[in-house]
Amino acid sequence: MCSSTSTLPLLNLKKVIQDHREQYLMAFNIPMPCFPLASFSTFLLVSIASRTTFSISDVVCTDSTRVKLRLGEKVFGDYIHANYVTSPLLTTKFICTQGPLQSTIHDFWRMIFQERIESVLMLCKPCEDGRPKCSIYWPETVGETTAFDTVVVKNTGEDVDEFATSTSLMVELNPEYGMVCIRKQTYRWPDRGVPDHNSCRIPLYLLDRVRHAPCVVHCSAGIGRTGSIIALELALQKVVVGNKIDFEQIARELRCARAQCIQTEVQYLYIHRVMIENALLHINLNESTRATGQRFLREYDDKMRK
């Protein structure tokens, strides 16, 4: 059993089912909210050289929340396709970013060092379905050291468990000024999709291990899988303080910070599924409420198998 389920006060999760009872009885009539793509200021790069910093050409970077690189700014510039996600509910700083490209690995590590990031949550593989998703931005072999321009990264250890591979990395600007960052990668979350119906524990497990210190989250574009797991963290923290969970409002607020977060209706439904399954597993529900939640899970799982 993942430890996150024992550390969160989940009693209020019954509201997730009760407050959305009618929606869950019509499970696949839950619409994904439609929000303007960019009804806010966006930072647009116009030089041809700068366009190499984009992984997905139609993903914009919200100017008001973007991370500005100060380390090496005069030489390398201040831009990285990354945004802060802030909320009074969050217990730490989260940054959502695209998967590093070969041309942006140095910028990525500058950001890690500048923001004192203690963990990186990698929700993609470098290559999926024969298509590149991000570059290998860390030394893969334990004991190996790789220099990315001004930043040196050393692989100091690796651990593999049921849900993720964890790599301990020493990040240095110089031999006297270093920090440790843990990269956690799961292989069980497909592009534009969600983990299989038996895997609601995956995001809970991952979040439990990164929510206590500054964390960078990325997939390929940094909006689909990345947005889904941050939305889950916001929902979980609403439970902690006893607030009503409004999934549409969570998605709306998240998209104000990181444009286009949560790419598909399946991902939006998956957020509901994880919260409902968590409630069914860990709290006492009356018969009617439990039946509503179980029906949603059955219909969701049947749909995903088709």
Structure tokens at 301: 């799982």
Superfamily of domain 34-274: Protein tyrosine phosphatase superfamily (3.90.190.10)
| Rounded average pLDDT over 183-187 | 93
Is residue 52 within 8 Å of 102, Cβ to Cβ? no
Q: Find the largest Cα–Cα distance for the chain.
A: 64
| Rounded average pLDDT over 97-125 | 97
**Count of residues making up the chain:** 306
Q: What is the pLDDT of residues 254-277, one digit of tens each?
A: 999 999 999 888 888 889 889 888
| Rounded average pLDDT over 237-249 | 86
> Computed over its alpha carbons, how large is the radius of gyration of the chain?
20
Q: What is the pLDDT of residues 30-74, one digit of tens each?
A: 455 554 433 333 333 322 223 344 455 578 899 999 999 999 999
Percent of the chain with pLDDT over 70: 79
* Whole-number pLDDT of residue 277: 87
Q: Is residue 200 among the annotated active site residues? A: no
- Catalytic one of 34, 219, 256, 261: 219
Average of per-residue pLDDT values in the chain: 82
Q: What is the pTM of this model?
A: 0.83
